[in-house]
Amino acid sequence: MSVIKEVLRNIISRPVTLKYPQERKELPERFRGRITIDYDNCIGCGLCARVCPALAITMVNPPGKKDIRSRRPLVHLYKCIFCGQCALVCPRKVISFTHEYELASYDKEGSVVAPPFVKKGNKGGRELSKG
């Protein structure tokens, strides 16, 4: 008896699944997607790189400069575990998470959050592969 009731209910009800690329689910405010860093206000303290559990953040120097103060964080998204610890420890709160979750890319360039001084062509190079 209950089987017939379930069948009838399911005939008239809509499917629960979404047609993904066309329909998208609304993401909650706290969702942790792709990392963004506001490099203008970053002071280059390096706390994020020290605290990262996945060792996904490296501090890089601008070309020609070697001093410790001009280093800026570079995030390897393919290593990132999206725990948000870097955003938590950042003293200037410049690290935040967007709602972008489709992070697949064809090259390493697309999977890196880099400071503006890192040249485009260099992003897949030796400099990024270490660390």
Q: Using only the alpha carbons of the chain, give its radius of gyration.
A: 21
Q: Does 8 bind another protein (CB under 8 A)?
A: no
Our CB check for another protein shows the closer of 65 and 81 to be 81
Query: Do 75 and 56 form a contact (C-beta atoms < 8 A)?
Result: yes
CB of 72 to another protein, least distance (A): 22
Cα pseudo-dihedral 60, 64, 67, 70, rounded to 10: -50
H or E segment and range at residue 5? helix 2-12
Q: Does 68 bind another protein (CB under 8 A)?
A: no
Our CB check for another protein shows the closer of 49 and 118 to be 49
Instruction: Return d(Cα 72, Cα 63) in angstroms, integer.
Output: 12
Q: Does 102 bind another protein (CB under 8 A)?
A: no
Q: Does 85 bind another protein (CB under 8 A)?
A: yes
Q: Does 82 bind another protein (CB under 8 A)?
A: yes
Instruction: Return d(Cα 86, Cα 35) in angstroms, integer.
Output: 10
Our CB check for another protein shows the closer of 17 and 22 to be 17
Q: Which of 8, 18, 43, 88 binds another protein (CB under 8 A)?
A: 88
Q: Does 103 bind another protein (CB under 8 A)?
A: no
Where on the chain is the footprint of another protein (CB under 8 A)? Answer: 6, 16, 28, 30-32, 51-54, 81-85, 88, 97
